[in-house]
Structure 1
Amino acid sequence: MFTPKTKCELVALVREELIALDEIDVSLITDMSYMFYCCKSFNHDISKWNVKNVENMEGMFFDCESFDQDLSYWNMSNVKDTKYMFCNCLKFNHKVENWDVHNAITMAHMFENCKQFDQDLSRWDVHNAKTMAFLLHNCTNFHYDVKKLDINKNCNIQKILGHEEIQNQYAIKY
């Protein structure tokens, strides 16, 4: 088992592809921003990664067009930034409803252009979020009611859905 202490060490292990990703203990890592950025064919199972100490997942899977793995058991309770996390993950469609995202502040563009994404987010505690703009923009399969989210009235929700066909039916109106 390899236990990198910094993001740089983790990136080196991932990029070198000398060891399997499930042989990496990521429990000391706090920043996974843009970890797999533009890895268009990336679709490895990293469901067992212990991400409980991660605070920044900005753009982690940005442009990972083929990514479609179950991350439902990830402990997201310390994550503050999920901006662009799955942006352009065209195939991603796994349950994230049990994620504890109560510390998330920046959630803008999180699932933007996730064409297959259609998961219920209504149980998420998003009261600390400052921006959820474009959260589900262009998620053409998404059909859940985001009005059930308990969103802080000061949160930027500009075009939270963005897809006109569903926006009128499910969009939040203040």
Structure 2
Amino acid sequence: MCPEEQSFYDMFYDADEFNQDISGWDVSSGGSFGRMFYDADEFNQDISQWDVSRGTSFYKIFYGADEFNQNLCAWGEHYSSDKNYDRMFGNSDCPDTSDPT
């Protein structure tokens, strides 16, 4: 039996000073990662090893996370054109691209 899909939508929305190491979190049952770090200005932690394979929406996940500049190439192996990557890195310190590949 698969675990119920979790939503991380807006989890750290507007958490201006949040910059804790959450690399060890188990997010493998996550479906929506939309706006998870939206306007979390200081967030810049390596979460590249997160299992985001069940994720369906990454809409503005790092939008406005001014300091975020991490390599998420490992997430690219789960890239699929039927998932929402709209403005994934918008207004972050990363190139404004729509997918992690």
The two structures have a TM-score, normalised by structure 1, of 0.50
**1:30 correspondence with 2:6:** yes
AA aligned opposite 2:49: Y
> After the TM superposition, which residues 1-174 of structure 1 pair with which residues of structure 2 at under 5 Å, given as runs?
30-99=6-75, 100-103=77-80, 105-114=83-92, 116-117=93-94, 136=96
Structure 2: unaligned runs, 5 residues or longer: none
Q: 8 Å contact 1:29–1:51 — kept in the other structure?
A: no
- Runs (4+) off by over 2 Å: 100-104
| SS of alignment partner, residue 55 of structure 1 | strand
* Cα-Cα RMSD: 2.1
Q: 8 Å contact 1:80–1:106 — kept in the other structure?
A: yes
Task: Number of aligned residue pairs: give it.
Answer: 95
AA aligned opposite 1:81: S
State, as a whole percentage, how many aligned pairs show the same letter: 27
Of Structure 1 and Structure 2, the greater strand share is in 2
- Higher relative contact order (CA closer than 8 Å, sequence separation 6+): 2
